[in-house]
């Protein structure tokens, strides 16, 4: 039984329905992201990819100027801002009707990105990596995606350990949700953080029991696109992990995911459309 009651998120006055699942397209403007690093870090390439993902059905474009893949070097907020803000400003101008999110754990980057036009903060550290992040979320009054991770990019995959991975992560979210609710934050989204401080067994237990996160009463984001949890099972590299990603995304939808965060929007939208048909949420043509 789901406790979720809200069927929309308020993005600076624009209501985004999540009554049916939606797709978030990944726009990495870094040089070293694990799959598409260096592909979209020029403005013309970022514009092209954004237009492509919007045409394919993405509801949100998630802009990331810092790689958080396992082993990645952490860059300072000032350097992240120098990369992110010019591209954000250009994209907001080019696509004024689009909804953009900023993928960052730096509070300063989040705030400046919102001022530049993004409508959602997507934080892989759920406030743990920057003590000012929750203050920025409260101040900016935009939806906040909080993701669970264990450790940082250098340490998270060394030896992740849990008593019960699902319950431990739910327990991790509860005080954060309560605090932000008390501060008046209206729109929160949880992301269990596939691949971030989880081994293969942890990841698949999370996927199998994703529906248990509905107890939090919040939308659930699933981000598994081309990750190691898929590569290892199908014995392929990220470049050949699209089919496996499609299977995992379909399972996530069946288990309660409201948002799919993906590199490949067209294929994810196909998952959503088939899921909606299966659930009787699409009228006959």
Chain centre distance of CA 98: 16
72 secondary structure, DSSP code:
P
* Rounded Cα distance, 254 and 224, in Å: 15
* Sign (positive or negative) of CA dihedral 7, 12, 14, 20: negative
* Rounded Cα distance, 129 and 77, in Å: 12
Residue 134 makes CB contacts below 8 A (sequence gap 6+) with: 127, 179, 180, 183
- The pLDDT score that the predictor gives to residue 263 is 95
> pTM for the complete prediction?
0.92
Residues annotated as catalytic (active site), given as ranges: 227, 261
User: What phi and psi, each to the nearest 5 degrees, are found at residue 179?
Assistant: -65, -50
Cβ 220 vs Cβ 2: under 8 Å: no
pLDDT in tens, 108-144: 999 999 999 999 999 999 999 999 999 999 999 999 9
* Rounded Cα distance, 244 and 157, in Å: 21
Helix axes 107-116, 133-140, angle to 10 degrees: 20
pLDDT in tens, 5-50: 578 999 999 999 999 999 999 999 876 544 454 565 688 889 999 9
Cβ 129 vs Cβ 105: under 8 Å: yes
Local confidence band at 1 (pLDDT 50, 70, 90 cut-offs): very low
- 210 has which bridge partners? none
Buried-state track 51-72, b at ≥16 Cβ within 10 A, e below 16: eebbebbbbbbbbbbbbbbbeb
């Amino acid at each position: 039984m789901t406790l979720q009651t809200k069927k929309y998120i308020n993005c600076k006055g624009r209501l985004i329905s999540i009554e049916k699942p939606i797709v978030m397209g990944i726009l990495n403007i870094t040089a070293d992201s694990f799959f598409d690093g260096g592909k979209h870090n020029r403005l013309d390439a970022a514009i092209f990819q954004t237009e492509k993902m919007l045409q394919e059905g993405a509801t949100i474009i998630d802009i990331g100027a810092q790689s958080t893949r396992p082993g990645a070097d952490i860059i300072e907020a000032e350097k992240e801002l120098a990369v992110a803000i010019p591209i954000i400003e250009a994209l907001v101008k080019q696509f004024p009707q689009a909804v953009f999110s900023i993928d960052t754990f730096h509070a300063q980057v989040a705030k400046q990105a919102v001022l530049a036009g993004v409508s959602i903060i997507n934080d892989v550290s759920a406030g743990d990596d920057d003590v000012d992040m929750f203050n920025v979320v409260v101040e900016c009054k935009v939806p906040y995606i909080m993701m669970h991770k264990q450790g940082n990019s250098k340490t998270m995959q060394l030896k992740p350990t849990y008593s019960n991975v699902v319950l431990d992560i739910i327990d991790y979210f509860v005080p954060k949700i309560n605090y932000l609710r008390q501060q008046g934050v209206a729109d929160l989204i949880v992301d269990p953080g596939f691949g971030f401080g989880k081994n293969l067994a942890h990841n698949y237990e999370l996927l199998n029991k994703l529906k248990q996160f509905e107890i939090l009463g919040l939308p659930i984001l699933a981000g598994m696109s081309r990750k190691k949890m898929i590569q290892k099972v199908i014995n392929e590299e990220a470049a050949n992990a699209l089919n496996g990603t499609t299977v995992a995304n379909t399972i996530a939808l069946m288990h309660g995911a409201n948002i799919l965060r993906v590199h490949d929007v067209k294929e994810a939208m196909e998952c959503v459309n088939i899921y909606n048909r299966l659930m009787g949420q699409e009228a006959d043509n």
